[in-house]
Chains A and B, each alone.
Chain A
Amino acid sequence: MEINVQGYKRVTIVTVTGRVDSVTYSEFENALQAELEQGKVNIALDFSGVEFISSAGLRVLVNARKTVKNAGGRIVIAQPSQQVSETLEIAGLEVLFEQFPDRETAIAAF
């Protein structure tokens, strides 16, 4: 898994590629936590390169959503890969995460 963070004026883009599973989830969790601790509570996740996401990754998403929501921010998903969309739907979590077809529309949403 690789994680890349880019800060914009109103939103932080976190790009994740590879597998988000029980082996890698803590790295993803730590990256998000580092942004939240700096008060970056508007986050767009670029998931176009995610090949696999398990419940371990979903738990990080749900927890992060709760934290940003309590802080008045929001977390959205830009360009979900088919695997991400499929997993969210199987787990019944697609309603919790707004999804955008590309990074530009996700950024414009903030």
Chain B
Amino acid sequence: MVKKYMKINGHIDQIERIGRFIQEAAKEAGFDEMESYACELAVSEACENIILHGYGDDSTGEIEVSVQTEPDKLTIELWDDAPPFDPANSPIKFDPSIDDPPIGGLGLVIMHKVMDEMEYHRREGRNQLRMRRSRKPPA
């Protein structure tokens, strides 16, 4: 098991760094290119929600990320100091079968679709989001 850690300032131009960090870890866990991409995408969406909706105009916020790599398994934790928000249990208002879908909440749709498990806790005044994904057998 390998655990890595990084911290970014809560600015949207920092999301790319976290994305690369996650993608590398996913590859180390044995995920293929597109599964690694999907993990990068889901975590980027989570960070975007924290920065744009959680921190908003507060430019002093930070996001801490840890990623635990095991063979065929990735566990990612995000910590932030924004007001409480639980993406793991937020209702997903999205129906792709309709022709003109409402586009709010697309980030949540992506996070839930990519991750096998999402778990939220409010601890010591901070948001903690844990996401897990196991490698899928090739289609």
Q: Which A residues form the contact surface with B (CB < 8 A)?
A: 19, 21-23, 52, 54-56, 58-59, 62-63, 66, 82-83, 86-87, 90-93, 95-96
Is there contact, CB below 8 Å, between B33 and A59? Answer: no
Closest chain B residue to A83, Cβ basis: B37
Q: Which B residues form the contact surface with A (CB < 8 A)?
A: 12-13, 15-16, 19, 33-34, 37-38, 40-41, 44-45, 48, 52, 94, 96-97, 99-101, 103, 106-107, 109-110, 113-114
Is there contact, CB below 8 Å, between A66 and B100? Answer: yes
Q: How many A-B contacts if CB must be within 8 Å?
A: 72
If over half of A's interface residues share one DSSP class (helix, strand or loop), that class is named, otherwise mixed; here it is: helix
Is there contact, CB below 8 Å, between B110 and A55? Answer: yes
Is there contact, CB below 8 Å, between B12 and A62? Answer: no
Is there contact, CB below 8 Å, between A21 and B16? Answer: yes
List 7 other contacts, CB 8 Å, given A95-B97, A96-B101. Answer: A19-B16, A23-B12, A52-B40, A59-B103, A86-B38, A90-B41, A91-B110
Q: Select one of A23, A52, A58 contacting B106, CB under 8 A.
A: A58
A-B contact pairs, 26 of them (CB 8 A): A21-B12, A21-B44, A22-B12, A22-B15, A22-B52, A23-B12, A52-B19, A52-B37, A54-B41, A54-B48, A55-B48, A62-B101, A87-B110, A90-B109, A90-B110, A90-B113, A91-B96, A91-B106, A91-B109, A91-B113, A92-B94, A92-B113, A95-B96, A95-B97, A96-B99, A96-B101
Closest chain A residue to B19, Cβ basis: A52
Chain B residues within 8 Å of A63, by CB: 103
> How far apart are B4's CB and chain A's nearest CB, in angstroms?
21
Is there contact, CB below 8 Å, between A59 and B106? Answer: yes
Chain A residues within 8 Å of B110, by CB: 55, 87, 90-91
> How far apart are A67's CB and chain B's nearest CB, in angstroms?
11
Q: Known: A58-B103, A62-B101. Contact between A93 and B19, CB under 8 A?
A: no
Is there contact, CB below 8 Å, between B12 and A92? Answer: no
Closest chain B residue to A60, Cβ basis: B103
Chain B residues within 8 Å of A96, by CB: 96, 99, 101
